[in-house]
């Protein structure tokens, strides 16, 4: 299942915690989303951990159909001294009602910031990557993580579609591993197989008042508004003969 946000006053908040810090090393953030409403001239924030472009912040944003960044997903991460890494994905469909897994990660081996997209039971596509900016290091926001709105709750910056399965960990995934997630392998299973630790995992099966953090870190998310429970592709499809 997933959670549908109304683009008015629905959002979840994860209280600031050490586990939300993006280290000066590999890290990975993932979320499934289904864009069903992208009308407007502004921007919709799916994940917001600090004011956009301020120091020590991370934001995952969708440009609405009438905006200057129409139908573009973009990421902006800024470290403590203001060094920024920005990623954008151009020419993606807007409200096409297709589930997609979005992966944003720092690939420590390749020295890149990466933005991946894939559809259920589809291949993983590296949409955009940039070399790690010189001096870019720890992103340690002092603010909460907001899901479905911008941190300041600006009325024109709420999310108006469905999201599910948000996770964060201090590791980077390979193309094959991301593809395995798209085919239905749960991130908890993959992390266990690889010996990775999840810092945050919100399955978002139902629009509960409190979303339990199944990583074991205790970073639960509190609901505001009245988001609705909706359908989501199966996440437990058996994976056979697939190398990680």
Q: Which residue has the higher pLDDT, 184 or 242?
A: 184
Give 110's pLDDT tier (boundaries 50, 70, 90): low
Q: Which domain holds residue 188?
A: 2-230
Output the pLDDT for position 239: 37
What's the longest Cα–Cα distance across the chain? Answer: 47
CA distances from 145 to 49, 57, 70, 155, 175 (A): 4, 10, 25, 17, 27
Residue 240: inside a domain? no
Distance CA(216)–CA(200), nearest Å, equals 8
Output the pLDDT for position 242: 39
Is the pLDDT at 157 greater than 90? The verdict is: yes
Is the pLDDT at 86 greater than 80? The verdict is: yes
Output the pLDDT for position 235: 52
Q: How many helices (H) and strands (E) does the chain have?
A: 2, 16
For 22-33, write each residue's pLDDT tens digit. Answer: 999 999 999 999
Q: What's the total number of domains in the chain?
A: 1
CA angle 208, 13, 47 (to 5 degrees): 110
CA angle 130, 33, 179 (to 5 degrees): 60
Residue 142: inside a domain? yes
Residue 239: inside a domain? no
Output the pLDDT for position 96: 78
CA distances from 57 to 2, 75, 117 (A): 26, 11, 22
Give 43's pLDDT tier (boundaries 50, 70, 90): very high
The residue ranges of DSSP E strands in the chain, in sequence order, are: 2-4, 11-14, 27-34, 43-49, 57-63, 73-78, 84-89, 99-107, 112-118, 125-131, 145-147, 162-169, 198-202, 210-211, 221-224, 228-230
Residue 238: inside a domain? no
Residue 242: inside a domain? no
Give 237's pLDDT tier (boundaries 50, 70, 90): very low
Give 70's pLDDT tier (boundaries 50, 70, 90): confident
Q: Give the chain's end-to-end CA distance (angstroms, integer).
A: 26
Residue 108: inside a domain? yes
For residue 191, the 8-state DSSP code is H
Output the pLDDT for position 87: 82
Residue 105: inside a domain? yes
Range with lowest mean pLDDT among 51-65, 131-145, 164-178: 131-145
CATH of the domain at 204: 2.60.120.200
Output the pLDDT for position 233: 64
Tell me the Cα Rg of the chain. 16
């Amino acid at each position: 299942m997933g959670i549908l946000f109304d683009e008015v006053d629905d959002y979840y908040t994860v209280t600031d915690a050490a586990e939300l810090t993006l280290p000066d090393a590999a890290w990975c953030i993932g979320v499934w989303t289904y864009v069903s409403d992208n009308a407007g001239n502004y921007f919709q924030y799916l994940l917001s951990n600090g004011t956009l472009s301020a120091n020590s912040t991370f934001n995952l944003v969708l440009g609405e159909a009438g905006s200057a960044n129409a139908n573009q997903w973009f990421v902006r991460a800024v470290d403590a001294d203001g060094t920024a890494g920005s990623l954008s994905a151009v020419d993606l469909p807007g409200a096409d009602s297709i589930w997609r897994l979005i992966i944003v990660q720092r690939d420590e081996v390749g020295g890149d910031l990466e933005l991946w997209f894939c559809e259920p039971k589809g291949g993983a596509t590296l949409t955009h990557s940039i070399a790690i900016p010189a001096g870019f290091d720890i992103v340690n926001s002092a603010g909460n993580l907001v899901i479905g709105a911008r941190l300041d709750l600006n009325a024109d910056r709420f999310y108006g579609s469905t999201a599910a399965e948000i996770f964060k960990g201090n590791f980077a995934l390979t193309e094959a591993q991301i593809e395995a997630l798209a085919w239905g392998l749960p991130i908890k299973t993959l992390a266990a197989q690889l010996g990775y630790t999840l810092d945050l995992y919100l399955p978002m099966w139902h629009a509960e008042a409190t979303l339990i953090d199944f990583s074991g870190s205790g970073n639960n998310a509190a609901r505001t508004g009245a988001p609705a429970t909706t359908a989501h592709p199966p996440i437990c499809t058996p994976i056979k003969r697939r190398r990680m």
